[in-house]
Amino acid sequence: MTMLADLASIAPDATTAPFWDACRRRELRLQRCSDCGAFRQPPSPGCPHCGSARGDWPLLSGRGTVFSFTIVHHAAVPPLAADVPYNVVVIELDDAPGARLISNVLDVAPDDVSVGMRVDLAWDETPDGVVLPRFRRVTAER
């Protein structure tokens, strides 16, 4: 896939920095409310469920399921021309109920992406050192 460096850069703020800092360590961590336990993705300063401003960032397994997806056929910008068609997926993570992560499944043909497909985390690093959580299809559960 085209690497992010060709298209944009990551500019974390105080709320999103813990996610990107964890990615640099190749740890998938999503924000969780310390009071009611609800995951918040994308992260936010306050919990939409209980109003708490407290949160922690538990380490996740990276296993999940495709909740939804689309196949992109038209390159919105020239650097993507070599990549179309490609998938954009919404992943439900096994150990972060209620949170969904937008990503891509690597090394899978467009016709082979499906809702309910099991996936596992696959770290992908751009030339400028941004580490992105992407996924690969799981064919046999352990």
Q: Which is nearer to Zn ion, 35 or 92 (CB)?
A: 35
CB of 37 to Zn ion, least distance (A): 7
Q: Between 29 and 63, whose beta carbon lies closer to Zn ion?
A: 29
Closer Cβ to Zn ion, 34 or 68, answer by number? 34
Q: Binding residues for Zn ion, per CB under 5 A?
A: 33, 35-36, 38, 47, 49-50, 52
Q: Are 137 and 117 in contact (CB under 8 A)?
A: yes
Residues forming beta bridges with residue 100, ordered by sequence position: 92
Q: How far is the CB of 47 from Zn ion (least distance, A)?
A: 3
Sequence length of the chain is 142
- Three-class DSSP category at 123: strand
DSSP class per residue in 41-109: SS--SS-TTT----EE--B---EEEEEEEEEE-S-SSGGGTTT-SEEEEEEEETTSTT-EEEE-EES--
Q: Which is nearer to Zn ion, 98 or 110 (CB)?
A: 98
The CB-of-50 to Zn ion minimum distance in angstroms stands at: 3
Q: How near is the Cβ of 38 to Zn ion at its closest, in Å? A: 5
